[in-house]
Amino acid sequence: MDKLINLQDAVNLVRDGDTIMVGGFLAVGTPERLIDALIEKGVKDLTLISNDTSFIDRGVGKMVVAKMFRKIYTSHVGTNKETGRQILEGEIEVVLVPQGTLIERIRAGGFGLGGVLTKTGLGTLVEEGKQLVEVDGEKYLLEKPLRANVALLYAEKADIKGNLTFHGATRNFNTYMGAAADISIVEAKEVVQIGELCPDEVIVPGVFVNYIVDGGAL
Amino acid sequence: MNKQEMQEFIAKRVALELQDGDLVNLGIGLPTLVANYVPENKDVLFQSENGFIGLGPSPEPDEIDPCIANAGAFPVTIVPGGSFFDSAMSFGIIRGGHVDTTVLGALQVAENGDIANYMIPGKMIPGMGGAMDLLSGAKKVIVAMEHTAKGNHKLLKECTLPLTAINAVDLIVTEMGVIEVTSKGFVLLELNPEYSLEQIKEATGADLIISEGLKPMA
């Protein structure tokens, strides 16, 4: 099955009130075209799961400025002054999650795990409301899985079955979010035919990808 | 010393702590400067938590690759022998104890090694990013910071701000001296000759044990 769809059909898969995961690290390796199209469409009351809220003019940061989120799970908002303002004014709920815990909660959500045990966050505000689990005398925090309705991802190359390759530091959260979402949409810089990617170079197998948008070079 | 000289002085001293063969993660800001002072006879690799080992210097303007940026989104390079990976791998490296040393800034450090460096309630809520994972997983934690914040103590008996981690800090390097965090509290190992013992004690909000082998800070 050819997974290629156009930008408009792609963003129509995101509905008001959805939880979305968006790949990227301070907008490096983020699907800018999908984000721009979503802003143009104007969905609202979304919950975002993303490493950070980027900058006001890049990546998911633009969606923060457009006030599309009700709630955000993220590790860092310090580069986007608008997120900071919305938090302090009480317009938005932000759940700060340590970066390594965030990726593991997403991985758990996609890989059939009931959660992960980590020492990260012990003795801090992150511990609040969470179960402590002792394993062989060592204490850990139980961190529960995260899932989303839709994942919006970026890849360097996608073949039409959704096998993905990456360049540089763009893998970040893009490699696991597709597994943890009901629908995953990948904006690929280049779309290629079956057989053009060597199976050895595929980083994410197409099984985690539902749709591909041909993004072209940014 | 002006602010820049002070930061360079601190970074230079921290660089002496790095060992041949170490994998090191540097925080954003002052800690990033440490990379400039690693002695040429030491083979030190830097990890960038957004997804690679082998963080290299800034590229020439015409050689910038937007997909190769550090954890602060600044363009960087990757050295020969480096590798790219995703956030799950990156934080497996961090949490799993495979990073030898991390160098971070701090708002406050307590005499038991507690550290606060990710938020000031009601004022500034940037988030912890990868700091909680680094503090929980790195073998050695060095705090590189100015000794006081506009005259206010940063080295304290107990932190008053929300903690990033408990009992995590091993060594503190400031413009005034080098301080080890021990089970007995802060131990002054080196004193910058520009300051007196009285001055550093006054600038420290907890007891400062003077090491028997106290040396001038180089």
Amino acid at B174: T
Q: Which of B95, B114, B127 sits opposite A118 (nearest CB)?
A: B95
Query: Which whole number is the average pLDDT over B183-204?
Result: 98
- pTM for this predicted structure: 0.97
CB contact under 8 A, A98 and B132: yes
Query: Among B53, B134, B50, which residue's Cα sits nearest to residue B87?
Result: B50
Determine which of B50, B125, B139 to mutate to test the interface with A (most A C-beta atoms within 10 Å).
B50
Span B10-30, pLDDT tens digits: 999 999 999 999 999 999 889
Q: Nearest 5°: phi and psi at A166?
A: -135, 160
pLDDT at B130 over 70: yes
Q: CB–CB of A76 and B127 under 8 A? A: yes
- Find, in chain B, the residue whose alpha carbon is nearest to that of A170: B67
Torsion of the alpha carbons at B27, B31, B33 and B35, rounded to the nearest 10: -70
Instruction: For residue B49, indicate whether it is catalytic.
Output: yes
- Nearest by CB: A169 against B69, B130, B132: B69
> Domain-by-domain residue ranges, chain A?
7-113+147-214
Q: CA-nearest residue of chain A to B65?
A: A168
Each domain of chain B, given as residue ranges in start order, spans: 3-216
Amino acid in the structure at residue B67: C
Across B89-115, average pLDDT: 98
Per the CATH hierarchy, to which homologous superfamily does domain A7-113+147-214 belong? Answer: Glutaconate Coenzyme A-transferase (3.40.1080.10)
Say what the pLDDT of residue A164 is.
98
Give the amino acid at A214.
D
Q: Dihedral angle at the C-alpha atoms of B131, B137, B138, B143, nearest 10 degrees?
A: 40
Decide if A120 contacts A141 (C-beta within 8 A).
yes
pLDDT, one tens digit per residue, over A69-80 is: 999 999 999 999
The whole-angstrom separation of Cα A127 and Cα A142 is: 9
pLDDT of residue B1: 85
- What is B3-216's CATH topology? Glutaconate Coenzyme A-transferase (3.40.1080)
pLDDT > 90? residue A179: yes
ipTM attached to this prediction: 0.97
Catalytic member of B8, B40, B49, B194: B49
Closest CA in chain B for residue A51: B129
**What confidence tier does B122 reach under pLDDT thresholds 50, 70, 90?**
confident
Tell me phi and psi for residue A107, to 5 degrees.
Answer: -60, -45
Confidence of residue A218 (pLDDT cuts 50, 70, 90): low
pLDDT of amino acid B218: 79
